[in-house]
Structure 1
Amino acid sequence: MAKAAASKAAAATAPASSGGSRTLWKGAITFGLVHIPVGLHTAATAEGVDFDWLDKRTMDPVGYKRVNKRTGKEIDRDHIVKGVAYGEGKYVVISPEEIEAVFPKTTQTIAIERFIDAAEMPFIFLERPYFVAPTDKSDKVYALLRETLIATGKIGLARVVIATKQHLAALVPSGPALVLNLLRWGDEVKTLDSLKLPPAGKKSVSAAELKMATQLVQEMSGPWNPGDFKDEFRRQVMKLVEKKAKAGKAQTVLEPEEEAPQASGDVIDLTALLKRSLGHKGRADAKSAPKTKAPAKKTTAKAAPARKTGTTTPHRKAA
């Protein structure tokens, strides 16, 4: 049963083909005496909006200078050293030779140190994915590792050095591919100690509330399709940029619509909220159902309250 579930989950998350993509890194997966030559390929792209600094008088690009924060004067590269903050207002200077001496040694291996149950890995640790593809006729042993991970429901925890930086990573089967997902180190994830959270367990909610919430979740459930979710802010901005560019204009004023603020001081009636959610879902289903002719009935609709809008200005790129 666990094997079937793992296979189904892997198939559902199968990545698009990376055929023709540039190999970013070449090395090998190693565990025990097993050695699998592989290459890494980019599995994700950043598609956000990049706001550059410009001089509004001439529309010239604005660069970044090395400036002494106390004097405000620009300084030469030769006068810059690297320091690490140690106490308030104090720094310890580290020389290039000292930094080089402690750089992680490049071994060109994805060295698996442990296998764990896939369900044990919290999403909060996942940081950046890479597709892993076999090289040098390693297809058979690559497939063996992939199928073994699927059959056992395990993922591999490994260390890998990429661009002089050592990473902890998870090797995860995803459809026909293995994916190497770089992880945050344990001390990079904050604890929950500072948060005031309700106690875990069903005692914190009533049986009726849990039943209605479960029903709502089931009604709103559907298959995972990444194409259903898009970055609407980026899409609207690029649409506006294209329109302005075709009109020959050099400046753009963005006025995205703001949602009305939610009141934070009111006590939420969870039962009523769930009932309204279920009722809203039922009305939406009724609207999408085939319409049949019925006798006309006069109704009086109440005017909806005016929606508040505002003006926001996008943040400039950090220096």
Structure 2
Amino acid sequence: MKPRAIWKGAISFGLVHVPVALYPASQDAGIDFDWLDRRTMDPVGYQRINKRTGKPIKGTDIVKGIEQEDGDYVLVTDEQIKAAYPASTQSIDIETFVQAAEIPFLLLEKPYYLEPIGKGEKVYALLREAMFEAGVIGISRVVMHTKEHLAALVPMGPGLVLNTIRWASEIRPVDELKLPPAGRAAAGVKPAELKMATQLIGDMTTTWDAERYQDRFVDAVQKLVKQKIAAGDTKVVTPIEEPPEKTTTSNVVDLTELLARSLAQRQGSPGPRKDQKKSATSGRGTGKASQPKRA
């Protein structure tokens, strides 16, 4: 079953806008233990409780507050938060293009699929093919669920994938840990030991295949579930349905003109310097994302 779109807007590429819908690219493959009332087999939900009184509170009575240093709170509404980012709430703004290998694995967070909507198929394909041709990924900003995310726009097979990236401030400094010094000599690694370890790694190296790896805990629980089903040990639970989501469409026009105007605006504007220093998180020993490849 096709997942429900969690966000709709457009990729901003110069003056060109690609209307897209955002879908989760990952799913929870673990065991989902639902809470049920033992007496009636009714689903049990999470209840919002006032921490001072211990009494339940309605969702309409809950507001967002940001605590200050003096203990006071500043209250903000969803409308005020959206107004703070009027141009970003419905757009994925590409700020620059970089080599995929420059992004450390440590920064990668969560992937999403992007699907063209409205009449955006042609410009969607154009952006995808241009990125494949240049061998780059796009670094962009997007606001989802009232929070701004840094993200990488990656061409993958016939589609585009948006992978959120952690902010540099979210990565703890590695110097908080007690680690052996970098370099074989400083770490006291002997040449013979390094040679044998390298040989062992070579013998264990294979081509990556995600299908070879399964969650053994899930397999064990599923086996238990099948045994209970065979024994007739099941209960009937009536699910609670949710209303379907409404959809909207967008249009893209004058693609050639918009591309020409975007290029004209870039003339005279200095691009990113190739000799820019890399961030602290992309130093020695960090994993790097691979170049975009077709599936």
Q: Give me the TM-score of the superposition, normalised by structure 2.
A: 0.65
SS where residue 149 of structure 1 aligns?
helix
User: Could you tell me which of 16, 20, 28 is aligned with 1:46?
Assistant: 28
Q: Distance in 2 between matches of 1:173 and 1:114?
A: 15
Change (3 A) 1:82 1:31: closer
| Residue number in structure 2 paired with 1:297 | none
| Residue number in structure 1 paired with 2:221 | 237
| Residue number in structure 1 paired with 2:137 | 155
Residues 84-124 of structure 1, C-alpha deviations (whole Å, 9 max, x = no match): 34459x35141437844655325532211011221111112
Whichever residue aligns with residue 51 of structure 1, its letter is F
Q: Which runs of 5+ in 2 are unaligned?
A: 236-295
Whichever residue aligns with residue 175 of structure 1, its letter is G
User: Could you tell me which of 52, 58, 73 is aligned with 1:92?
Assistant: 73
Name which of structure 1's ranges 107-116 and 242-251 shifts more when overlaid on structure 2: 242-251
Q: Do the aligned partners of 1:27 and 1:39 also contact (CA within 8 Å) in 2? A: yes
Question: 1:114-133 counterparts in 2 under 5 A?
Answer: 114-133=96-115
Residues 27-83 of structure 1, C-alpha deviations (whole Å, 9 max, x = no match): 332333444344333321112222233455665544433333344344455654443
Change (3 A) 1:239 1:76: same
| Residue number in structure 2 paired with 1:109 | 91
Change (3 A) 1:140 1:218: farther
Q: Structure 1 vs Structure 2: percent identity of aligned residues? A: 53
Q: Distance in 1 between matches of 2:13 and 2:170?
A: 26
| Residue number in structure 2 paired with 1:206 | 190
CA-based RMSD? 3.2
| Residue number in structure 1 paired with 2:148 | 166
Q: Distance in 2 between matches of 1:77 and 1:44?
A: 29
Aligned residues: 232
Shift of 1:219: 1.0
Higher relative contact order, structure no. (Cα contacts within 8 Å, ≥ 6 residues apart): 2
User: Could you tell me which of 36, 39, 45 is aligned with 2:18?
Assistant: 36
Whichever residue aligns with residue 108 of structure 2, its letter is L
Whichever residue aligns with residue 92 of structure 1, its letter is Y
Shift of 1:171: 0.9
Q: Do the aligned partners of 2:82 and 2:146 also contact (CA within 8 Å) in 1? A: no
Shift of 1:146: 3.1
Whichever residue aligns with residue 129 of structure 1, its letter is P
Change (3 A) 1:239 1:86: farther
Instruction: Give the greater-gyration-radius structure (CA).
Output: 1
Shift of 1:229: 1.0
